[in-house]
Structure 1
Amino acid sequence: MVDNCLTVGIFCVCGALLSLILKQYCTEHSLTVSLAVCTAVLTAFVLMLASPVSELRIILEAAEISEEYISVMFKALAICCITHIAAELCRDSGESAMGSAAELWGRGALITISIPVFNAFLKLIEKLL
């Protein structure tokens, strides 16, 4: 795992250096390199998590946690990762307002998908009282 982290780190640093060099000549190509590096790392991240996610799903199902809650948890994780990367890419391209808008959208999406979990939590509290 450590060697994979080192490989990804070197890949990101090389991509950042290439992007920085290209930014002097053509900002569009610089942004394209940044997007390509982020896409490659995100794809590797998803592939790396396939096995641990299936194990975690088995553990949560053994604890009798509803599939709906497990699904919300993984969707929330995906929203956080995608929103963070999108916001940082916007900020790197000099569009900090767009980065803030992406983060705001992500927060709204998290609230929207968490409403069923919050509703179930309130019903649980109501039963306990």
Structure 2
Amino acid sequence: METVIQAAGLCVIGALLALVVRRGSPETALLLALAAAAAVLALLVPVLGELWDFLRELETYSGVSEEVFAPLYKTAAIALVVRAGGGLCRDAGESALAAVLETAGSLCALLAALPLMRAVLELLVELMR
């Protein structure tokens, strides 16, 4: 809870500063937004570490191979990166680049999930025999 409040505070302060600076220097406003985003990401490193440890523990206790979990991790990471990158592109006034990034992210997520889809297909073929 405390981390979310800190992240929200950093984002609001960064947004307000960027709003004030945007009229005089849009480039500086974008850099302020990037700095705020980097500060929030740095704040989230311990949270991500704890989440990663839990996912590894879940993987160990579930008995499911890493081959099943790896596509899920990759797809989630792609979604997070694309969402942040798309938002930054839109803030910079480049909605076309944001759309291209989202399309690329969708294709990369499908590619990352391909081993999982192949495993499901193999299971279905095996069940049909």
**TM-score (normalised: structure 2):** 0.92
Higher relative contact order (CA 8 A, sep 6+): 2
Runs of 4+ aligned structure 1 residues displaced above 4 Å come to: none
Aligned residue pairs total 128
**Paired amino acid for 1:52:** L
Please name the residue that 1:47 is paired with. 46
Map 1:63-78 to 2 at 5 A. 63-78=62-77
Contact 2:21–2:28 under 8 Å retained in 1: yes
Contact 2:3–2:43 under 8 Å retained in 1: no
Secondary structure at the counterpart of residue 11 of structure 2: helix
How far apart are the structure 2 equivalents of 1:90 and 1:67?
A: 34
How far apart are the structure 2 equivalents of 1:68 and 1:26?
A: 48
Secondary structure at the counterpart of residue 49 of structure 1: helix
Please name the residue that 1:23 is paired with. 22
How high is the sequence identity, in percent, across the aligned residues? Answer: 30
Tell me if 1:56 matches 2:29.
no
Return 5+ residue gaps in structure 1 as ranges. Answer: none
Tell me if 1:10 matches 2:9.
yes
Please name the residue that 1:120 is paired with. 119
Q: CA RMSD in A?
A: 1.2
Please name the residue that 2:33 is paired with. 34
